Amino acid sequence: MDVFGRQAQEEGLSRIETDGKRLFVHYCVTCHGETGEGDGQNASTLAPAPPDFRASLPVHQPAYWKQIIEAGSVAVGRSPLCPPWGRTLPSDDITALVAYLGVLSRPAGQKPVEPAAKAPASP
Amino acid sequence: MRTPQRASVRFHLAFAVLGVTFLAIFSWVFLKEYLAEWRTTQAQFDQLQRRVKDPHALSLAAPLGEIQQIWLPDLNRVDRCPTCHLGIDDPAFVSAPEPYTTHPGAWLRTHAPDRFGCTSCHGGQGEATDFRNAAHQPIPYWSDPMRSPQLIEANCGACHRERRPRQAVWLEKGREVIANAGCIACHDIPGFSLEELRAPRLESVGYKVRPEWLRTWLADPKAYLAQARMPNFRLEPPEIDSLSAFLLAQRETAPLDSAGIDWSKADRDRGRTVFGEARCVTCHRLEGRGGTMGPELTTVGSKVGRAWLFSFIKDPTHDQPGTLMLRYRFTDDQIRDLVAYLTEDLIDPGAPQASSEVRYVEPALIERGREAFVRHGCYGCHRFSGMVDLGKIGPSLLGIGDRAIEAADFRNAAVVPSRPNWLFLKLRAPDTLADQSRMPTFNFSEPDAAAAVVALLSIRRADLPVSRVTDQPRPVRYEPQGTFGALVARYRCLSCHQTRGWGGELSTVPLDRIGSQLQHAYLVSYLQLPSAVRVSLEERMPWFRMTREEARTLADYLAGVFVDDSLERPVPLDADAARRGARLYQTLGCRGCHSLGGTGGYVGPDLSDSGRRLKPGWIEAWLSDPGRWKPGTLQPNYGLKPEEARSLTAYLMTLSTDRSGSTP
C-alpha cells in the first residue's frame, strides 16, 4: 500500500488547475462560491447576483472567460461588479484561472484527465 | 619432442577461444550501443518532427544521433534527460506524446534547463539513458527516485527556503504544519531555528490547573481540546500519576492577591457582557467559533482555578512573561464578573469531579514525575527555569530528505517501503513504526501529514551553493521602548500586527505606514473603542478600555514615526472632482465589494466614514496601485488615470457618518 500517494491523489487536478484553484479560492470565492455556484459570502449583496458557473460557463468559450477575468464583466456588456484583474495578476495566473474554470464547467463526476497519471503515482 | 608440439596445440586452442570470446564481447557491446533504447526513441522523434515541423524549422533543429547532456558542476549533476525528452523546450510539441512533449506551464522560463538541469527539480538518475535506470518509476529502496507530482515540491524547497515559497502550495502548507506543531522543540530543523514556541511556562502550574483536569489532559490533550497543540505522549497511568504530582507541586510564583474580592457579588451575566465587549473571541474559540491564537475557552471552567484566572486576566505577564495575551484595563469588579462567567458557565458537565480528600504525596512520586518530564522532553516546549541546556531530545532533521530507508523501519506496516511513506507513517502514527519511539502522536490529518512530508523531504543533507538558494530576510526583533513601548507591550499590539516584518499575522494591516493612512483623530477614537471597518471579519481588534491619554500617546507616535513621506501629499479636493468621483464609484462597480451607508458588498472595508478615517494622499496612492502596498490584495488595479484617482479620492473624502459636523 502506498499511504502517501493515496491521500495526495484525491482531487485529480493537474498542476495548472491546482494553481488556478488556489487563485480562485483567494480572489473569487468570496462572490462566486467554492464551487462557482454563485453562492459566495458576498453574493447576497450583489445585484445582479453572480451566475451559476455550471450553467453559465459552458455557454461560452474559454477566451470569453479570459476576457471577463482580464477586463471585468463590464467589458462584455454586463454589470461592473466583477472587477478587471488584468493589471493585477500576471498572465500565467490568468491562464491558470481559466484552466480551473474549465474544471468547474465540467458536469460533476466527469473528472479531468490527469496528465500526471502518466507519471508514477508515488515512489 | 612430443611435449612442445602438444603445448603448441594447446596454445593455438586457447588463442582461438580467446579470439572468439573477444569477438563476442565486442559484438555485444557494439550491438548494445547500436540498439540502445535512446536511439530508437530518437528515431521515432525524427519521424515526429518531420510531421510537426516545416522544412525550414527542420533544418534548424538540433542534430540527432548523439547523447544530449546538461552538466552542472556546482550541483554535481549530469542530466542526459534531453537525449529522449527532445521536444521539452519547443512549443511545437505541446500535444506530442511522452517523452517528446513540451514541458507544461511556464517553469522552463524561470528555470532554464541549461542552468538548472532536470533532476534538480524532478529527481531521478540523470546519467541514465534508458527509462528504467533513470528511475522514472518507483523502485523499492531506491535512494533518489523521480519525484511524483505530489512530491515534486520537495525539490522546489531544496533551493527555495522561504517560509512561503510562491506556487508551491504543498511545501508552504507543510512548512506551516511543521512550524505550528512545534517540531523544533525536539528537533533541530534547518530553516526553523527562529520559530518561537508558544507553550505555557509551568513553574507555577500548581496554582493554575485543577488536578482532575490535568490527568485528563496528560492522558490525551485532544480529548479536552480538539485544537490542542500538545501531542499525545501515550503515557501509562503510573506516569500520569507521577507527572501530575510533579506538576502540581510547581508553585514558584503565587497568583496576584484576590483575597479582597467578594465573590458573592459576582454576576455571570455581566461577565458574559464583558467577554463579548472585549472581543475575547478574536483569539479564543468558544463553542466552535473564534480565533485560535489563544486556547479555546468552551470548558475553561473545568480546567483552571478561580484565583489563578483572576490573577491572569489582571496581569497575564505575572505568570507568563512571554504571553501573547494583552492586559486589559478592566476594573477588579469586571474581572470578578468575567472570571465568574468563565469558571461557572464554561464548564464541561462530563468532566471528572474534584475529590475533596487531601492525599499525602510522596516526594519519591514527585521525583519520578520530574524524571518522566525530562524523559519525554517536556522541557522542549515548556521552558522550565530548572531545566536549561538539556538539549533537544530528538535527532536533528538535517538531511532527513536523504535518510536511507530499510525494511526494518516499517516493522509490520504493509506499505511500499519508500521514504515518503516512512515519513508519512512516522508523522501519523509513530508507535506503529517502532516499539520504543519517543515521538508523541500528533494526530495530524492526512493532508497535513502529506504536506509536512513534502516539506521534510526538502531538507537535504548536502547543502547547495549559496548562489542557488533563495530565502527571505530574517525579521529583526522590534521592541519599542519608552512610553510608547510600554503601551505596545501592555496591549500586545505585536501579537497581531506586523511592523518591519516583525510581529503576528492576525491583522492584515501592517503598521509600517499607518500614520500616513489614517487620520490622527480617527486613530485616537478607534484605539479607545475599535469599531469594525471590515464587517465580514471575525477577528476584530479587542476593546482594550485604554484611556484617552494612552490612545493619544499611541496615535501621536504612530502619526509621527509610522509614516511614509511619499503618501503625505496634498490632493485637491474640489466639489467638481468629488462629483466625477461619485460617478466613477458607480461605473467602476465599487459597491460590489464596499459598503456605503449600509448597502453594498462586504469584501472590502466599509467606506461610509472615509472622510474622517483616511488620509487623501493614501487613498490616491492606494487606488493607483493597490498591489504595490499590499501584495495579494483583493482590491484590483483598475488602471485609473491620475485624474480619476484624484476624483475618487475627492469623493471618498466627502463621506462621513458624522451628522453633527464636529470631530471627535
The yes-or-no verdict on residue A84 having pLDDT over 70 is yes
Backbone angles phi, psi at B591, to 5 degrees: -65, -15
Q: Answer yes or no: do A4 and B637 touch at CB < 8 A.
A: no
Work out the average pLDDT over B581-598.
94
Contact B148 A116 (CB under 8 A): yes
Domain parsing of chain B, residue ranges: 37-146, 172-194+395-468, 205-371, 482-567, 575-652
Touching A: B residues 415-454, CB under 8 Å:
415-416, 418-421, 423-425, 428, 446-447, 450, 453
Q: Which residues of chain A make contact with B409, given a CB cutoff of 8 A?
A: none
B352-380 average pLDDT score: 85
Query: Any idea what DSSP says for residue B343?
Result: I
Residue A114 is predicted with a pLDDT of 41
- Yes or no: say if B330 and B234 are a contact pair by the CB < 8 Å rule: no
- pLDDT, one tens digit per residue, over B216-227 is 999 999 988 888
Give the CATH H-level superfamily of domain B482-567. Answer: Cytochrome c-like domain (1.10.760.10)
Longest CA span, chain B: 137
Q: What does the mean pLDDT of chain A come to?
A: 82
Q: Min CA distance, A49 vs chain B (Å)?
A: 10
Nearest-CB residue to B145 (from A45, A118, A123): A123
**Separation CA B424–CA B420 (nearest Å):** 6
ipTM, interface predicted TM-score of the complex: 0.85
Give B509: exposed, middle or buried? Use CB within 10 Å, 0-12, 13-18, 19+.
Answer: middle
pLDDT at residue B2 in the model: 56
CB of B401 within 8 Å of a chain A CB? The answer is no
Q: Where are the domains of chain A?
A: 13-40+47-110
Q: What percent of chain B has pLDDT over 90?
A: 66
Can you say whether the dihedral through the CA atoms of B465, B469, B473, B477 is positive or negative?
Answer: negative
Q: What is the Cα Rg of chain B in Å?
A: 34
In the predicted structure, residue B63 carries a pLDDT above the cut 80: no
- Cβ neighbours of B592 in A, within 8 Å: 31, 42, 45-46, 80-83
Q: Are B279 and B540 in contact (CB under 8 A)?
A: yes
Q: Hey, which residues 457-486 in chain B have their CB within 8 Å of chain A?
A: none
Label residue B346 by pLDDT band (50, 70, 90): very high
H or E segment and range at residue B22: helix B2-34
A9 has pLDDT over 60: no
Minimum distance, in Å, between the CA of residue A74 and any CA atom of chain B: 9
Return phi, psi of residue B446, to 5°: -60, -45
> Per the CB < 8 Å rule, is A1 touching B414?
yes
Q: For position A10, what pLDDT does the model report?
A: 53
Q: Quick one: residue B500, left, alpha or beta (phi over 0 = left, psi -120 to 50 = alpha)?
A: left
CATH superfamily of A13-40+47-110: Cytochrome c-like domain (1.10.760.10)
Whether A42 and B138 lie within 8 Å, measured CB to CB? no
Task: Decide if B482-567 and B575-652 have a common fold.
Answer: yes
Helices and strands per DSSP (H, E), number in chain A: 6, 0
B547-558 tens-digit pLDDT = 999 999 999 999
Is B575-652 CATH 3.40.50.300? no
DSSP summary character for residue B231: P
Note whether A42 contacts B414, CB cutoff 8 Å.
no
- In chain B, residues with a C-beta closer than 8 Å to the C-beta of A92 are 105-106
Beta bridge mates, B599: B596
Distance CA B232, CA B222 (A): 8
B421, B606, B622: which to substitute to probe chain A, counting the most A Cβ within 10 Å? Answer: B421
Q: Which of B106, B136, B425 sits opposite A120 (nearest CB)?
A: B136
pLDDT tens-digit map of B464-490: 898 999 988 888 899 999 999 999 999
Check: CB of residue B86 under 8 Å from CB of residue B102.
Answer: no
What's the confidence (pLDDT) of residue B562? 96
| pLDDT over 60 at B190, yes or no | yes
Query: What pLDDT shows up at residue A1?
Result: 53
The verdict on a CB contact (< 8 Å) between B636 and A88 is yes
User: How far is A62 from chain B, CA to nearest CA, in Å?
Assistant: 17
How many angstroms separate the CA of residue A37 from the nearest CA in chain B? 17
Beta bridge mates, B79: B70
Residues A12-64 have pLDDT tens digits of 787 788 889 989 999 999 999 999 999 999 999 998 999 999 889 999 999 99
Measure the CA–CA gap between B241 and B244, rounded to whole angstroms. Answer: 5
| Residues of chain A contacting B414 with CB distance shorter than 8 Å | 1
Interface of B with A in 169-198 (CB under 8 A): 169
Scanning B605-624 for CB atoms below 8 A from A yields none
**For B258-308, how does the pLDDT look when each residue is reduced to its tens digit (9 = 90+)?**
889 999 999 999 999 999 999 999 999 998 889 989 999 999 999 999 999
- Share the mean pLDDT of chain B: 90
Substitution target from B110, B148, B635 for chain A, most A beta carbons within 10 A: B148
By CB atoms closer than 10 A (0-12, 13-18, 19+), residue B518 is buried
Residue B662 pLDDT > 50: no
Higher-confidence residue of B534 and B317: namely: B317
Query: Chain B residues with CB inside 8 Å of A120's CB?
Result: 136-138, 145-146, 148
- For the residues B309-336, what does the mean pLDDT come to? 95
With an 8 Å Cβ cutoff, are A123 and B148 in contact? Answer: yes
pLDDT tens track for B152-188: 999 999 999 999 898 888 899 999 999 999 999 999 9
Q: How close, in Å, is residue B132 to chain A by CA atoms?
A: 12
Looking at residue B234, the DSSP 8-state letter turns out to be -
| Nearest residue to B578 via CA among B484, B632, B650 | B650
Query: Rounded to a whole number, what is the distance in Å from the CA of B590 to chain A's nearest CA?
Result: 7
What is the spatial distance between Cα B312 and Cα B332, in angstroms, rounded to a whole number?
12
Task: Find the closest chain A residue to B101 by CA distance.
Answer: A115
Give φ, ψ of B470 to 5 degrees.
-115, 145
What homologous superfamily does CATH list for B172-194+395-468? Cupredoxins -  blue copper proteins (2.60.40.420)
Phi and psi at residue B33, in whole multiples of 5°? -70, -40
- Cβ B434 vs Cβ B396: under 8 Å: no
Residue A9: its chain B contacts at CB < 8 A? Answer: 150
Our CA-based measurement puts residue A55 at a distance from the nearest CA of chain B, in whole angstroms, of: 22
**According to CATH, what is the number of the domain B205-371?**
1.10.760
* Residues of A with Cβ-Cβ distance to B143 under 8 angstroms: none
Mean pLDDT of B514-533: 93
DSSP strand E in B171-263: where? Answer: none
Q: Is B94 on the interface with A (CB under 8 A)?
A: no
Which run of H or E residues covers position A101?
A: helix A91-105
Residue B255 DSSP label: P
Chain B residues close to A3, C-beta within 8 Å: 415, 421, 424-425, 428
Element (H, E) at B522: helix B520-528
